Amino acid sequence: MKIAFFPINKVAEVTAGANLLQVLLANEVKIRSVCRGRGICATCSVRVRGSASSLSPATPQEKKTLSLIVGSDENTRLACQCRILGDGITVELPSGLYIEKLEELLELVGEEAVSDYLHPITGAVMIPKSKIITRSQLQNFKNLHEEVNKLSQ
């Protein structure tokens, strides 16, 4: 079976039952999983185009998490929670960057954001693309480390 990754225009050969997150990582796709595959964060959320029957149904935990993710819709899935069951899907990777720690942004103060910087739990845009990153914006990330640590426990 084959699946495609967008926008990187890569195709991967997969076996039935493979976990989508593991397939992404095995194909060197840069995607995070802050909650370590427990389905309680937004960092591995992707949009899937193609037949819904080509993926395992969403679990109750995945549905709950997806309901909290800004901008998620019926095509949004958590890569850590779904298994590939059939051919013909395209996985659309997020266009923003998920931030886990305030320290990741400190060195970028004064520079233009090269991408949207996203909250790892809700997927909300914290700093929009093309905006100058300021110290006052970093206040939005003040408690981020504690929130992410709670997920990792």
Domains of the chain: 2-92 (3.10.20.30), 97-152 (no CATH)
Give Cα separations from 103 to 26, 112, 135, 143 (angstroms). Answer: 28, 17, 12, 12
Rounded distance between C-alpha atoms, residue 4 and residue 92, angstroms:
9
Strand ranges across the sheet with 10-13: 10-13, 2-6, 89-92, 45-49, 76-78
Query: Do residues 90 and 54 make contact, with C-beta atoms less than 8 angstroms apart?
Result: no
What residues contact 105, with CB distance under 8 A and at least 6 apart?
99, 117, 127, 133, 138, 141
* Angle (CA) 8 13 18, round 5°: 100
Residue with tokens 């400190």: 106
Task: Supply 28's token pair.
Answer: 């060197």
Q: Is the pTM of this model over 0.75?
A: yes
Rounded distance between C-alpha atoms, residue 1 and residue 3, angstroms:
7
Per-residue confidence of the chain (153 residues) as pLDDT tens digits?
Answer: 999 999 888 999 999 999 999 999 999 888 888 888 999 988 999 999 988 889 999 999 999 999 989 889 999 999 999 999 998 899 999 888 887 777 778 888 999 998 898 888 888 888 899 999 998 887 777 777 677 667 655
Rg (CA), the chain: 16
Rounded distance between C-alpha atoms, residue 129 and residue 20, angstroms:
28
